[in-house]
Amino acid sequence: MNLANTLQHYRSDLDLIEQWVPVGSRVLDLGCGDGSLLARLKKNRQVTGYGVEINDAKVWRCIQNGVNVIQQDLEAGLAMFDDQSFDVVILSLTLQSMRNTEEILKEISRVGRVGIVSFPNFGHWFHVWSIATGHMPVSKHLPYEWFNTPNIHLCTVADFEILAQRIGLRITGREVFANGKVVNFLPNLRGTLAVFSFTSIV
């Protein structure tokens, strides 16, 4: 389960992802939801490729949207894809709901020449303040209560950078957003949504 539909009006990451995807690329969109991002990339960037989605209704929406989709649980890995079989692999607003975060990032860097991920930044000051006052945060980027959230592994901008280095990923791009605008000053504290691109060092 991801936050893509919940946050469809606050998806600052989508414009940036489109800019980062080269024209004519072969793209794999993991946790693709209804396929709207891949359909957008097909139209605007002339990409080819596949979406991967587990939800029956969303798979059907992908088909209706003219998107090639494979019904698969991402937790099972990406063994069906060969090494470097895609130019770009995208995981947007789904990383925080993965049980094995390290493994999916390694798999992204294995099957794609470039990986792109976006996720809500748990280091935002409002989230820190909520915890300091005794409550788990609820915001437009983290809209669930503690007892019904699909989010398993929340992280900050700084946390992701540390993990990327630890598992052998080279960060090639980073933008942090708040209210649709890029945050350059204190992004780990002021940003609500982070987007990274990376490649494998190995």
Predicted structure pTM score: 0.89
**Cβ atoms 18, 42 nearer than 8 A:** no
User: Residues 79, 82, 86, 87: is their CA dihedral positive or negative?
Assistant: positive
Sheet holding 48-53, edge to edge: 69-71, 48-53, 26-30, 86-92, 112-120, 193-200, 169-178, 181-182
Domains of the chain plus CATH, in order, are: 8-200 (3.40.50.150)
Quote the pLDDT of residue 71: 96
Per residue in 163-194, pLDDT (tens digit) is: 999 999 999 999 999 988 999 999 999 999 99
Residues 141-163: pLDDT tens digits? 788 887 888 778 889 999 999 99
pLDDT at 106: 96
